[in-house]
Amino acid sequence: MAETHEYKRPVPKMRGFAAEFYAYCKQHELRFQRCADCRTWRHVPRDMCAKCGSFAWEWAQSSGKGTLFSWTTAMQPMLPQFADLVPYSPVVVELEEGVRMLSWLTDVEDADLQLDLPLEVVFDDVTPEVTLPKFRRAG
């Protein structure tokens, strides 16, 4: 799925926990933090479990399956690097594990966006260093 031309859009800065999150994405694994004590999943990554106060956690693998929680369809570019894509839709996906993340859909027209649409993760190697998780309709 990698784009053949040079990728000019902003990529994650990959500092701290984000470096670990995206390192797993590069291996085509969608992993989120899960508390090692109370097993609560969380995203975005944090130092502590807000539920039980534990500092112990692991990068637990997600099923990659989820549903569409919300979206917006950008009809004008706010950054020049996305101008050629307009309209495009930054969407909120709710994973089976309960965490939610921002992403893009690869195969859904804007007119077909609807709450609870079943989705599954796909990985887009946008550069040799960076892989962005995206989602498509689940079969």
Partner 1 sequence: MYPLKDQACIVGVGETAYTRGSGKTDLALMLEASMHALSDAGLSPHDIDGIIPPPLQSTSEHFAANLGVEDLRYAVTVHMGGASPVTSLQSAAMAVACGVAKNVLVPLGWNGYSTMRLRDMGNKSKGNGGGGGGAPGALANTIGEYYLPYGANVPVQWYAWLATRHKELYDTPDEAMGTVAVTSRKHAQLNDKAYMQGRPLSMEDYLNARWVSKPFRLFDCCLETDGAAAVVVTSPERARDLKHDPVYISGIAEGHPYPADDIPARPDPFTIGLSFATPNALQMADVDLKDLDFAEIYDCFTYVVLLQMEALGLCKRGEVGEYAQGNRFALDGELPLNTHGGLHSEAHVWGMNHVVEATHQLRHEAGERQVQDAQLGLVTGWGDFGDGSLAIMRR
Residues 64-93 that bind partner 1 (CB under 8 A): 69-82, 85, 88, 90, 92
Q: Which lies closer to partner 1 via its Cβ, residue 63 or residue 127?
A: 127
Residues 103-132 that bind partner 1 (CB under 8 A): 103-104, 110, 114-115, 130, 132
Burial class for 89, CB neighbours closer than 10 Å (0-12, 13-18, 19+): middle
With CB under 8 A as the contact rule, the residue among 4, 5, 6, 10 that binds partner 1 is 10
* Residue 61: CB minimum distance to partner 1, A: 19
Q: Does 52 bind partner 1 (CB under 8 A)?
A: no
Tokens of 86: 């307009």
| Residue 22 per-residue DSSP state | H
Sign, CA torsion 100/102/105/109: positive
* Residue 37: CB minimum distance to partner 1, A: 20
Backbone angles phi, psi at 85, to 5 degrees: -95, -20
Q: Does 15 bind partner 1 (CB under 8 A)?
A: yes
* Residue 80: CB minimum distance to partner 1, A: 8
**How does 33-67 read in b/e, with b if 16+ C-beta sit within 10 Å?**
bbbeeeebbbbeeeeebeeeeeeebebeebebbbb
d(CA 32, CA 42): 6
* Residue 31: CB minimum distance to partner 1, A: 14
Task: Write out the residues near partner 1 by the rule CB under 8 A.
Answer: 9-16, 18, 21, 42-44, 50, 69-82, 85, 88, 90, 92, 99-104, 110, 114-115, 130, 132
